[in-house]
Chains A and B, each alone.
Chain A
Amino acid sequence: MIRIVLLFFVISMNSFGQVGIGTTSPETDLHIAGSALIQDELKTTELGSTNNTDINFKLITRLTNSSPLGEITKLDVDNLSVAPINILKYRFVDISRDNLEDIDLSFESSRYLIAISNFRYIGDPITKQNVSGHDRPSIGNFITRVFTATSFSNPSIDTWHIQIQNTYLDAATESDIEYEVTLIVYDKSYYRSLDPIEVNLGGSNTGNVSAPNIK
């Protein structure tokens, strides 16, 4: 009896010249029924672009903690607890007069950047204050800002804090004032905080500074 040994090749080609690896019926020019790993560079010149009607696309990321290094994954915000951009709406109620002096928002400043967007002042106004020896009343100075400072609950880290108040004048004791503010929380993995640019205008209302070094 003659036994014929059949050799199954991992790689095969069909009559259209299409190559399959791990498949005997390739569906395109190169069809890999498995994963591919390219150690060096990948180039593709005829990559299609998304257009107006492509609505369900996800950003592509490359993992730096996979084994082997460089697994291609997709960023689905529904699968993450923190997205590149996160929107949070805050409403501060039951405030002492108009003074929201320092609220620790608890976002670590090493991981996030925060910006204020959409501010609403809801409630009683602050009365202008006459200043003795001065011909115009004071309106104080109303500040809305986020800033980094030591965390109230963990002094070893810095977190983002918020301040909303008139820093020179107070509303009447019985005032009912609420603040509504939208915060944009940026994940620092995707956005970079640049060094602040300082300039002294010398009393002028115009000036110019060098652009930051960004590409």
Chain B
Amino acid sequence: MKIATLSICAFVIIFCTCTGFCFAQVDSGVGIGTTNPRVKLEVAGDAFLRDGLDIGIIENMEDEDTSTFLVQEGVDDKIKTLDVSNPTGTALGYIQEYIIRNPNEDWVYDLDTNISATAFVVNTISAYYDKELDIAIYSTVPNFSAYILDDTWHLTADFPAANNLDPNEQGTWTITTLIYSRDLSKQLGVITIPLSGSTTGASASPIID
């Protein structure tokens, strides 16, 4: 009579405290709350991984894929999707056009957008005026900008020293702005560069890599 030696590779102790069927193990994997796990571990419910997770293999998104971003949000630290196609949900950024009719000829001194400067960043990205202008001996360049005043963003637009050729015409400034949440951007402050009368100079980068 031969006695075969038996070696034990692993042992398992399973404590099942949930009601109903909570744990299944098949050749392909482990199911929690399911008897038919499609992958190595399938949880038919919520999971709480306190200290985060490392993923060994993560595929690249391809051109033809449709997707949402993942963000961590809220006091409960849940992982959520950021679905831009939802018209009432959040996006990474917003394009907002302002159509400003009948300003003081070509001059918009201060339009309060009422967008919170603590929650958002607003940049003007292009602007144009639509009526013919005149000017005396000077030349001019269009000037448009967003700035913060009393905790909201304000817009300004003007051709300095120029006016409507026909003062009775009511013109329109169209200003396109980009709005980002402060969660996704950093305001790095104002950098003043004194050129001491020269036309060239250098400035240190405010970004510390």
Q: Which residues of A contact B (CB under 8 A)?
A: 1-4, 6, 8-13, 21-22, 24, 28-30, 32-48, 52, 55, 59-66, 68, 71-76, 79-82, 84, 113, 115-117, 128, 131, 134, 136-146, 167-168, 184, 186, 188-194, 196-215
Q: How many A-B residue pairs have CB under 8 A?
A: 332
Is B47 close to A, CB under 8 A? yes
Contact B113 A209 (CB under 8 A): yes
B: residues with CB less than 8 A from A are 1-4, 6, 9-14, 25-27, 29-30, 37-55, 58-70, 72, 76-79, 81, 84-85, 87-104, 107-116, 120, 125-126, 128-136, 139-140, 142, 152, 159, 162-163, 165, 170, 174, 176, 178-179, 181, 208-209
Contact check, A202 vs B165: say whether CB atoms are below 8 A apart.
no
Residue of B nearest to A188 (CB): B84
- Separation of A139 and B129 alpha carbons in the complex (Å): 13
Determine the chain B residues whose CB is within 8 A of the CB of A188 once the complex forms.
84
Docked-complex contact B95 and A32, CB < 8 angstroms:
no
Identify B67's interface contact among A46, A64, A68, CB under 8 A.
A64
State whether A76 touches B61 (Cβ < 8 A): yes
Complex alpha-carbon distance, A202 and B108, angstroms: 11
Contacts A136-B134, A140-B132; is A211 near B115 (CB within 8 Å)? yes
A190 — nearest CB in chain B belongs to which residue? B92
Instruction: Report A-chain residues with C-beta under 8 Å of the C-beta of B62.
Output: 79-80
- Are A6 and B6 CB-contacts (below 8 A) given A71-B59, A140-B133? yes
Residues in A with CB closer than 8 Å to B85 are 189
Known contacts A38-B46, A141-B130, A207-B112; A199 and B94 CB within 8 A of each other: no
A134-B165, A191-B84, A212-B94 known; A142+B114 contact, CB < 8 A:
no
- In the assembled complex, the Cα of A76 lies from the Cα of B117 at a distance in Å of 31
In the complex the two chains form, is A63's CB within 8 Å of B25's CB?
Answer: no
Q: Which residues from B are CB-within-8-Å of A210?
A: 114
Q: Are B111 and A10 in contact (CB under 8 A)?
A: no
Residue in B closest to A117 when the chains form the complex, CB atoms: B125
- A108 shortest CB reach to chain B, Å: 15
Q: Are B27 and A10 in contact (CB under 8 A)?
A: yes
The residue from A63, A81, A142, A203 contacting B102, defined by CB atoms under 8 A apart: A203
Residues of A within 8 A of B77 (CB): 43-45, 47
Using A44-B53, A60-B69, A207-B111 as known contacts, say yes or no to A197 and B98 having CB atoms under 8 A apart.
Answer: yes
- The distance in angstroms between the C-alpha atoms of A43 and B46, with both chains bound, is 8
CA distance A104 to B73 in the complex (A): 41
Q: Which residues of chain B are within 8 angstroms of A36 by Cβ–Cβ distance?
A: 39-43
CB-CB < 8 A to A199: which residues of B? 98-101, 111
Q: State in angstroms the CA–CA spacing of A88 and B95 once bound together.
A: 18
